[in-house]
Amino acid sequence: MSPDPTAKRGCLGGDTLAGDQLSDLPDGLLHTIMSFLPAPHVVQTSVLSRRWRDLWRSTPCISIEEQDFPITRRAGSDLQDRDEKWRNLENFTTNLFMFHNNVASLDKFRIYIDVSHASALRVRDMDRWLRRGMKYSPQVLEILISRWCPLVTFPHMGASSCRLKRLHLHGLHLDNQFAELLCSGSLVLEDLELRSCRKSFQEFKSRTLKRLVIDCCDNVTGGLVVITVPQMAYLRLRVLPGLYSNGISICETTSLVKASIHLLCLGETFSFKHQRWLLGNLCNVPDLELYGFQTMAMLVEESVEFPIFTDLKTLSLELCFLDKCDLNNKLDALGSFVQNAPFLEKLTLQCCMVINLFSYLS
C-alpha cells in the first residue's frame, strides 16, 4: 500500500527550504516522482535535505538495472571490470533490501540483469534478490534477464502472489510450479508477458488473465500447447521455428477482442492442419493479425470444416502466402478467407503473395 499522501512532511531546521516547492509536496506525490527513477538515483535523493533523508526507504516502487552501475574507473581486464560492476550491484541491492522499510507491499518491483557471463554465484545472487523482492507482494513484477539462462528459474511465490496484477518475464525458466500459480484460485493476475522464456509445461490456464503475450518462448515438452483463458481480451503469440510442431489450441475465446499470431517459421514447421486448427479457434475474434500463414491453410476447399468468421471486422495479413503455390491458388485462398468473413470492414496485406518481393525487402 502506498504511503499516506497526507503524511506529515519533514523539514530542514523546522521549515521547508526557501524556494524548494518540490520538497513541500506530500510524501505520496514525491514517491510517485521517485517511481520513475532507477534505484540508485532514488537512494541518492537522501542527500538533498533532511526532508528527503528517509523518503527512499518507503518508496512503493523499486527498479534495479545492472546498467545503472557503470565502471567509473577501469580496474584492468574486461573480466575484472565486469566483476567490479557486479560487486557494486550486489552491495547496493543487499543494502537496499536491508534498509527499505515498506515491507508490507510494493506497487512495482522491477529487476533487469545481464547474464552474459553468468556464474553459479551470480545466479544465487539473482535468485536471492528475486525471492526478496517477491516477499513485498508487488502488484507489478518485471523480471528481465538479458538472455535466457537455464539456471535462473522463476521462484515459487506462494502467498506473496495475492496482489499480483501484472507479470512480465524475460529469459527465465518456467516450471510446473509456475503453471500451478497461473491457475491458483487466489491469484488476481490480469496481464502476463513471457518473452524468450523456457517453459516445461503444456497448458496455460487462468480465470483472471485478460492480456497474454507469449513471445519466442521455448516449448520444452514439445507437445500440444493448450491456452485456456476465458476472460482473455488480447492475445499475442510469436512462434519460433520447430518449437510448436504439435500445434496450439486456444479454448474459450468468447471474450477475445484482438489476436496477433506470428509464425516466425513462415508456416514451414507448423503444419497446414495446425494452422487451420488455430484459425478455427479464432473464428469469433473481431480484430485478427496473422503473420506467416500459408496458402493451403486458408483454402476453403481444402477443408469442409473451414470456419466462418462471423465477428471478424479487421484482418491484417503480413508475410502470408509466401509458399510455392502458384499465384492463382494464393488469390483463391485470400478470396475464400474473405468470403468466410461476411462482416469484414478492413483488410490489410503487407508483403504477401510474392516471394521475390519478400526477398527484395529483406
CA–CA separation, 276 and 300 (whole Å): 10
| pLDDT higher than 50, residue 179 | yes
Choose between 302 and 182: higher pLDDT: 182
Q: Whose grid coordinates read 479454448? A: 251
Grid cell digits, residue 51: 526532508
Q: Whole-structure pTM over 0.75, yes or no?
A: yes
pLDDT tens across 223-281, in order?
A: 899 999 999 999 999 998 888 888 999 998 999 999 999 998 877 788 888 998 999 99
- Report the distance separating Cα 56 and Cα 82, nearest Å: 27
pLDDT at 3 over 50: no
Adjacent-strand bridge partners of 204: 227
For the cut 70, the answer to whether the pLDDT of residue 150 exceeds it is no
The mean pLDDT of 59-80, rounded to a whole number, is 76
DSSP reduced 3-state for 298: coil
The two beta strands, 225-228 and 203-205, are: parallel
Q: How many CB atoms are located within 10 Å of the residue 359 CB?
A: 9
pLDDT confidence tier of residue 302, bands split at 50, 70 and 90? low
> What integer pLDDT is reported at residue 17 of this predicted model?
45
- At 151 the pLDDT is 66
> In the sheet that 203-205 helps form, which strands lie side by side, from edge to edge?
203-205, 225-228, 248-251
Q: Is the pLDDT of residue 114 over 60?
A: yes
User: What is the average per-residue pLDDT within 131-138?
Assistant: 88
Tell me phi and psi for residue 93, to 5 degrees. Answer: -65, -40
pLDDT of residue 185: 75
Q: Check the CA dihedral 181-183-184-186 and report its sign.
A: positive
Residue 87 has pLDDT above 90, yes or no: no
Split at pLDDT 50, 70, 90, the class of 146 is confident
Q: Determine what percent of the chain is predicted with pLDDT higher than 90.
A: 35
Residue 316 has pLDDT above 50, yes or no: yes
Q: Mean pLDDT, the chain, as a whole number? A: 84
Residue, of 237 and 116, whose pLDDT is higher? 237
Mean pLDDT of 313-338: 91
Coil, strand or helix: which one is 175?
Answer: coil
Give Cα separations from 264 to 123, 260, 261 (angstroms).
31, 12, 9
Residue 279 grid coordinates: 484459425
Query: And the C-alpha cell for 157?
Result: 511465490
Q: What is the DSSP letter of 186?
A: T
Identify which has the larger pLDDT, 2 or 161: 161
pLDDT confidence of 75, banded at 50, 70, 90? Answer: low
Higher pLDDT, 79 or 200: 200
